[in-house]
Homo-oligomer: A and B are copies of this chain.
Amino acid sequence: MQNSLASIILFHRKRSGLTQQKLAELAGVGKNLIYELENGKQSVRLENLLKVLRVLNIELDFHSPLRESFLRESPDAEC
């Protein structure tokens, strides 16, 4: 448990009553990947992170000073 992403995943997994193994199966990834995510490894593929977050019902969003004007200029953006 080294960064916020890791602890968020751990927390949600525990709350869901899942083992690393079970979460891995549901997400369609290997068991070691869950272990690595929960231990702060940032060299995972985005794709695999997203699979795990989807199972845990965690959404990812982006945030920046320019974000507001982005939404103003791109009203059709799917976010």
Asked if A63 meets B64 with Cβ closer than 8 Å, knowing A45-B43, A46-B43, the reply is no
- Copies of this chain in the oligomer: 2
Chain A: residues with Cβ within 8 Å of the partner, total of 35
- A20-79 residues at the B interface, CB under 8 angstroms: 42-47, 49-50, 53, 56-67, 70, 73-74, 77-79
Cβ of A60 and Cβ of B60 under 8 Å apart?
A: yes
Q: List 17 A–B pairs whose Cβ atoms lie within 8 Å, in order of A's numbering.
A: A4-B62, A5-B62, A8-B64, A8-B77, A11-B66, A12-B66, A12-B70, A43-B45, A45-B46, A46-B46, A57-B65, A57-B66, A58-B62, A59-B63, A60-B60, A60-B62, A61-B63
